[in-house]
Amino acid sequence: MKIAVIGGGWAGIAAAVELTAAGVDTTLFEAGRVLGGRARSIKLDGRELDNGQHILLGAYRDTLDLMRQVGADPDALFDRRPLRVVDNAGFRLSLPRLRAPLNVAWGLLAARGVGIGEKLTTAVWMDGIKRRGFRLGTDTTVAQWLDSAGQTGTLRRHLWEPLCLAALNTPVEYASAQLFANVLRDSLGSPRREDTDLLLPRVPLGQLLPEPAADWLQAHGAALRLGQRVRSLTVDDAQTLVDGEAFTAAILATAPQHRAALWPEDAAPVDVEPIATVYLQFPAGFALPFPLLNLPDGRGQWVVDRGRGLLGCVLSGHGAWETLSDDALAEALQAELGQPAGAVWHKVVREKRATFAARPGLLRPAWRTPHPRLLLAGDHTWADYPATLEGAVRSGRRAARSLLAG
């Protein structure tokens, strides 16, 4: 069996590793010069940084397992902490190291900046969602879901709205409540305390998976074709031709907008949402009190402390920020952080097509195509989740396992 994997993001990497580990002759095609796709290291003014801040959860089991498989140690590469949502307006919710679900109940009841009545109403609401298995009768927007549950107070603004934006990269006004409920199911609703943990990368993204995976794949005999954008894909009953080269089958693991050029039979248009990262370098002694800070009132929605005075400010989803110049964004964020003109260096990375918009009832492509010799992978094919690393990894492994099962 000789398999082609097209697209070397986290989905394609997962597929290629799975196939190679099973002894399959695997070729991974990646248009870029490095693996990683939308979660990769980039060079900015001589610094190795990320194309965007990536926050993982303890619930990302397949991702963590894949990292271990290629020799990357999550315990060393992540700063792992119990979930804490803290903002610069006085709100704070911290989960203690108690077993689940006590950790969530305690965290909610001890939250700072929220009245006891709202806490109790929310606890009852969350318990109801859990008892219904986090399944909504019909999908709606997160805003409508929260409205109908009476979630209109402090917790909405300081907890649910920022969590939704962080997880779905889609504002509550048009984000899917069901996808948000799925994220809550596997994090705050999980019976495992560790699933709620925040995993903050200690190293650039390339070192978490793409680079160790590239080394592992080559050491185990896989072929890496970096810098090769596949131009043609033909499938028939006997073989799959990738740029004219014959394979037994292929896994197409590109983002949807790139898939259409190769596989027009499934060219459903997908709305996308941007993400910008505004890097601000303060003097080395500068640090946030907790490495993840929410800015509920301003343009920056989350700020990640990357150590030694470097902050990565995240602007998720469409918004007025898109019209601002890089310098204006950097200035506005320094003001929001209470550090006007404090940064000694700044740089903005704009990912215009960061993720699909996680809208209610969004049609997701089937990962099986009419041809058994062609399967799809990628975050958008993992219908249970919004665009996440974990969805990407699971989709890649699923496609590979399906081919292996014959």
Please name which of 38, 43, 57, 50 lies closest in space to residue 274, comparing C-alpha atoms.
Answer: 38
Task: Indicate left, alpha or beta for 202 from its phi (over 0: left) and psi (-120 to 50: alpha).
Answer: alpha
In this structure, which long-range contacts are made by residues 282-285, counting pairs with CB atoms below 8 Å and at least 24 apart in sequence?
A: 282/309, 282/310, 282/311, 282/339, 282/342, 282/343, 282/344, 283/309, 283/342, 283/344, 284/308, 284/309, 285/309
Eight-class DSSP state of 380: G
CB of 50 to ligand FAD, least distance (A): 8
* Tokens 């665009």 belong to residue: 387
Closest CB to ligand FAD among residues 24, 166: 166
Considering only residues 236-265, where is the footprint of ligand FAD by CB under 6 A? 253-255, 258, 262
Residue 369: exposed, middle, or buried by beta-carbon count in 10 A (0-12, 13-18, 19+)?
middle
CB of 152 to ligand FAD, least distance (A): 27
In angstroms, the Cα distances linking 13 to 17, 233, 235, 386 are 6, 19, 22, 19
Total residues in contact with ligand FAD, by rule CB under 6 A: 35
Check binding of 38 to ligand FAD (CB under 6 A): yes
Considering only residues 1-20, where is the footprint of ligand FAD by CB under 6 A? 6-12
Closest CB to ligand FAD among residues 122, 171: 171
Longest CA pairwise span in the chain (Å): 66
Cα distance between residue 94 and residue 89, in whole Å: 15
Task: Lay out the site mask for ligand FAD across 268-307 (x = CB under 6 A, - = otherwise).
Answer: -------x--------------------------------
CB of 364 to ligand FAD, least distance (A): 12
Residue 90: exposed, middle, or buried by beta-carbon count in 10 A (0-12, 13-18, 19+)?
exposed
Scanning 73-81, 123-131, 330-338, 347-355 for contacts with ligand FAD by CB under 6 A, the matching segment is 347-355
Task: Out of 39, 93, 149, 272, point to the residue binding ligand FAD (CB under 6 A).
Answer: 39
Closest CB to ligand FAD among residues 151, 206: 206
Cα distance between residue 274 and residue 256, in whole Å: 15
Closest CB to ligand FAD among residues 9, 317: 9
Encoding tokens for residue 352?
Answer: 């215009």
CB of 52 to ligand FAD, least distance (A): 2
- Measured from the Cβ of residue 391, the count of other Cβ atoms closer than 10 Å reads 23
Task: Out of 1, 21, 44, 55, point to the residue binding ligand FAD (CB under 6 A).
Answer: 55
Check binding of 334 to ligand FAD (CB under 6 A): no
Task: Lay out the site mask for ligand FAD across 193-232 (x = CB under 6 A, - = otherwise).
Answer: ------------------------------------xx--
- Are the CB atoms for 204 and 193 separated by under 8 Å? no
CB of 285 to ligand FAD, least distance (A): 27
Closest CB to ligand FAD among residues 18, 30: 30
Please name which of 187, 189, 213 lies closest in space to residue 55, comparing C-alpha atoms.
Answer: 187
CB of 233 to ligand FAD, least distance (A): 8
Binding site for ligand FAD (CB under 6 A): 6-12, 29-32, 37-39, 51-52, 54-55, 229-230, 253-255, 258, 262, 275, 351, 354-355, 378-379, 387-389, 392
